[in-house]
Structures are given as C-alpha cells and as structure tokens.
Amino acid sequence: MSILHILNGDSTALGFEETGLEGDVLVWREVLSEGPLAENITSASFWKKRSEWISETFNDTPENYQQNVLDQLAKLDDLYDEINLWFEFDLHCQANLLGIITYLKQKTDLSAPATYLICPNDYPGKDDFRGMGELDGEELVYLYDTIRVQLSEIDFVLAAEAWAVYTTRNAERLQSFLNNTTFWGSLHLLKPALSAQLQKLAVNDKGLNYIEQRLVDIYNYGYKTWPEILSVFLEKEKIYGMGDMEVNIYLQKLIRKELVVLN
C-alpha cells in the first residue's frame, strides 16, 4: 500500500524522521493564514500569486518557492492509497489544513485515497504544548496510534465550505458560518482557529486589527526590542501559530505608522 504523510512544516519533519512510519513525506511550507487567497486552490493563478507574495514579503525568490512548495505539491499527482495529514490546532495550521483538504477535494476522487488526520491541541505531560515540532519520533508515533482519525466525505464538504468563506476575508460571512455550523466532524479544532481569524479581521477605532493592537499593547507595556515583543506575543497568542516572520509583517506596519519605535 502506498502512503503519503503531509507534514505542516520542517520542524515536524525533523521528529518524523525518527518515527519509522512507512510512506513518502510531503512537507507543507505554505502560510495560508496570510497573503492573497482564492477559492480555487488548484488553479495556476492561485499559486502564481502565492509565489509572488511569498517572494516579496519574505525576501525570497520564485525559484525557492518552486522548490520548497510547488515541487512538494507535485507529489499529490501520484496515486496514493492513504494520506496522513499532520496538522495542529492554531490558525496557521488550520488554514493550511483547510487548503490541503480542499486541494485534495478539487483534485481527486473522494473514494481514494483514504485520508487521515493527526491533529493534537495538547500532549500528555507538556503543559505548554505548542506543536508537533517539539516532539520526538516516539511521541509522534504515540499521536499516530491514539488520535489519528479517518476523514469522512462530510469532513471534506465542511472543509470546502469553510475554505470558501475563509478566502473571502469577510467578517460577516465568517461570523455567520461560525454561528450556523453546529457539526464539525473530525475537524474539531477548526472553530476556535476561525474564531481567531474573525478577531484578526475586525478593525478597531484606531484602524488596528487584533494582532496589531496586541503588539502595540505589548510595546506600550514596556517591551521595546524585537526579541522581547516577539517572545511575549508568541507566548500569549498561541492560537495564531505565527512565526517570527509572520509577526514581523504586522510589526513593520506599526513601525511605518510610528506606533512602535524599536530600541
């Protein structure tokens, strides 16, 4: 039986190498919680816009995007009997999870491959669990054995509906979707992540969204350097699952507005 494991990021890939689990590996290196989006995730224009945005925002190159993202994505052109999705609870991971499930739905027949989800929001003995990147091979195998669930057709339909709403970045549509969706199937961590997205879409009377206001608050509280601000934000706002480069997108906006002046 041919098996594919899709891992959300290189940090998980390091531990996964120690698992001994059979199958090929696709490392998902996109950040669909930020940047341009469209409902048709299988279109060439979608990935062209993503490449342009990633290259410009993170000072990278289209060549690297081709190698790190598109060449990995090409593995889905192969026929697998089973696909395992290793994603986490935060908005970063849940947005990527919606993207990959929708990609599979738009591209493949739902009768094959069998698709499973490994999606933890905690881990025994780890009070400050932040993601699978901090787990070793034995711990990842424990998750595989205990929380892996097979996604149903209903899960695929729900993910496609959520993706269609998510890509609009329309707060009213997202709020309506959250209010009216009463069954989340195996996507049990999607609602809190999308609720965090709803917070991010809202803009206050100062013209700042939730993340920008939190960064300003941290700065005004007395944290005046980039490492300090980043450390406090990542500790307090785990639901967003942001890395330093994503946080920096918002911080640079605040610097340009002269709301933050770093030491």
The Cα-based distances of 14 to 8, 173, 195 in angstroms read 11, 38, 30
Choose among 97, 152, 95: nearest CA to 119.
97
95-102: average pLDDT: 96
Q: Give the mean pLDDT of the chain.
A: 94
Q: pLDDT per residue over 63-85, tens digit each?
A: 999 999 999 999 988 889 999 99
pLDDT value of residue 111? 57
Cβ(2)–Cβ(68) below 8 Å: no
Q: How confident is the model at residue 106 (pLDDT cuts 50, 70, 90)?
A: confident
pTM above 0.75, yes or no: yes
pLDDT value of residue 195? 97
pLDDT value of residue 263? 85
CA 230 to chain centre: 19
What does the angle CA 12 – CA 118 – CA 230 come to, to the nearest 5 degrees? 45
Q: pLDDT per residue over 136-170, tens digit each?
A: 999 999 999 999 999 999 999 999 999 999 999 99
Lowest mean pLDDT among 50-54, 80-84, 127-131, 214-218: 127-131
Measured CA to CA, the distance from residue 177 to residue 165 in angstroms comes to 8
Query: Mapping DSSP to helix (H, G, I), strand (E, B) and coil, where does residue 193 land?
Result: helix
Q: How confident is the model at residue 109 (pLDDT cuts 50, 70, 90)?
A: low
Tokens of residue 191, six digits: 């609602």
Lowest mean pLDDT among 43-47, 78-82, 185-189: 78-82
